[in-house]
Amino acid sequence: MTQGPLTTEAGAPVADNQNSETAGIGGPVLVQDQLLLEKLAHFNRERIPERVVHARGAGAYGTFTVTADVTRYTRAKFLSEVGKETETFLRFSTVAGNLGAPDAVRDPRGFAVKFYTEEGNYDLVGNNTPVFFIRDAIKFPDFIHTQKRDPYTGSQEADNVFDFWGLSPESTHQVTWLFGDRGIPASYRHMDGFGSHTYQWTNEADEAFWVKYHFKTDQGIKNLTAEEAEVLAGKDPDSHQRDLREAIERGEYPSWTVSVQVMPVAEAATYRFNPFDLTKVWPHADYPLIEFGKLELNRNPENIFAEVEQSIFSPAHFVPGIGPSPDKMLQGRLFAYGDAHRYRVGINADHLPVNRPHATEARTHSRDGYLYDGRHKGAKNYEPNSFGGPFQTDRPLWQPVAVSGVTGETVTPVHAEDNDFVQAGNLYRLMSEDEKERLVKNLANAVSGVTRDDIAERAINNFRQADEDFGKRLEVAVRELRG
């Protein structure tokens, strides 16, 4: 900000910012004191509604660099050559907590990356886990209601959490992740990120591939135990935000190695797991990681509200060569995220500096609405027009997907080895004995808070179906805690 006199919002110089106008010394305040009224009115409106989920977050700018040729899979220009760099903004977050909640809690972490590409912004909105609790977006509001404060008690209730999970066995895999050692990352720098969903890549020849993104932390994985997190959350609720900011200030720029798993489209129909089911992973033995980039965070935001709180990410923000898949959770998010931003930040949220394209210019026929800045001036606002306005390219960003059958409310297709427990059991059996003990202890502490025996038993039974030993140990631990 330039030096000079303090001014009102309209630019008039302020004579006295310490005392309000009164009718005589000690008299009542005058309505003509417009500086006072302006300041109070602005203060009342300084906060926008917090995000319904992922409200608690931190962010930073960075650089994505291509390290390997992937042009055989995608025609996205920002991935077109080795060494190419693209500016990015990454927002980390917890899911269930509100804006004032502590960072060091057992909760998935949002991992949302905005690539400011020359073809427009590409948003990859993921988590620090490769799977999620549910596979269909129609269940998402119900799921989040169980994670948020109960409308009667005003607190998060174990009954709600485990009642829903117990009645939604597809959540077993993600719950096993969440209550394992990686359930409470030590910092945002020391955790992996995942696109989680399946996406489509399309090359110049219009060949399509299904892909899953992986961001492997170069700082190494570090986690907190439940006991460590409890202490840290009380001592420093801002622990993860502070760690990220201070690391960048020190010049210790965190980075991630970026890879994809690639599945030829023809293999999807017969793959042993449904490749579009968000509760499942693709085992690396089937589709190994292909490394193609490096993501580094190297610049802190200058204003948290303007650049972190008002930042928006939408999985519908694609660029040529990248598109969606039939993943039913992703399909719902394509609508829900943009709709949330239009409600929370406003219809012109994409005009804000942190959200607008940095490497190109947005050319649309949208006009007016809250905070519209008049950028289009007198240009025509319809298409087609003969006044030199923007025009369509006639080339889709991604390839169409073949569909068949009749419309209706359908369950997610089941593939040869699909069930709700197999991958949770595989994850459990991969753990060391110490990891299993901590997982069972963490889960038992949570389940023991349930007030109804039938809810606790149903929750335990899901883990028993994943692995008999897992369920048996959990049952014993819960019984001991519940007396």
- The residues annotated with a catalytic role in the active site are 54, 127
φ/ψ of 428, rounded to 5, equals -60, -45
Sign of CA dihedral 236, 238, 244, 250: negative
Token pair belonging to 382: 């319809």
Token pair belonging to 189: 């720098």
Secondary structure (3-state) at 457: helix
β-pairing, 199-202 vs 109-117, is unpaired
CA 40, CA 125: separation in Å to the nearest integer?
A: 37
Residue count (the chain): 483
Residue among 371, 380, 317 nearest 349 (CA): 371
| 391 neighbors 384 (Cβ within 8 angstroms) | yes
| 317 neighbors 123 (Cβ within 8 angstroms) | yes
Residue among 198, 200, 196, 197 nearest 320 (CA): 200
Q: Which amino acid would we find at residue 359?
A: A
Sign of CA dihedral 396, 401, 407, 410: negative
CA 120, CA 457: separation in Å to the nearest integer?
A: 50
157-167: b (≥16 Cβ within 10 Å) or e:
bbbbbbbbbbe
Token pair belonging to 130: 């490769």
In angstroms, how far is the first alpha carbon of the chain from the final one?
Answer: 63
φ/ψ of 210, rounded to 5, equals -95, 140
β-pairing, 193-194 vs 322-323, is unpaired
**468-482 vs 422-430: helix crossing angle, rounded to 10:** 80
CA 250, CA 333: separation in Å to the nearest integer?
A: 37
Token pair belonging to 304: 């948290």
96, with CB counted inside 10 A (0-12, 13-18, 19+), is: buried
